[in-house]
Amino acid sequence: MNRILKFRAWSNVSKMMLSWDQIKPLSMVNLNIHKIYEYMQFTGLVDKNGKEIYEGDIVETESGSCYPVVFEDGGFNCFMNDWEDYKIIGNIYSNPEFLNQ
């Protein structure tokens, strides 16, 4: 299976989500030492609105339950299987309150 590897990053300094184009000129090795950025990988999937799903996103099911997208046991998991029914409502850095619903 071939898929494009894409990343984004949460800036712990500016408290903003950055695209790969914004962070790729920087040295990831040096930045990881200082934990300036939290890197998240694209899952290769899109939500029901066609928006790319990344690790760290929070998705909502049709029943209204909210789950974080995590990488564990060698794959992306969201505690459900019907990815095409999900809607991204935020991410774990900007919107942690969605996980308490």
* pLDDT tens-digit map of 16-35: 999 988 877 665 555 555 67
φ and ψ of 61, to 5 deg: -85, 170
DSSP secondary structure string for all residues of 38-89: EEEEEEEEE-TTSPEEETTEEEE-TTS-EEE-EEETTEEE-S-S-GGG-EEE
What per-residue confidence (pLDDT) applies to 42? 92
| pLDDT level of residue 101 (50, 70, 90 thresholds) | low
Closest CA to 91 of 51, 63, 62, 50: 51
With residue 91 as reference, give the H or E element that holds it.
Answer: strand 87-91
pTM more than 0.85: no
What per-residue confidence (pLDDT) applies to 78? 67
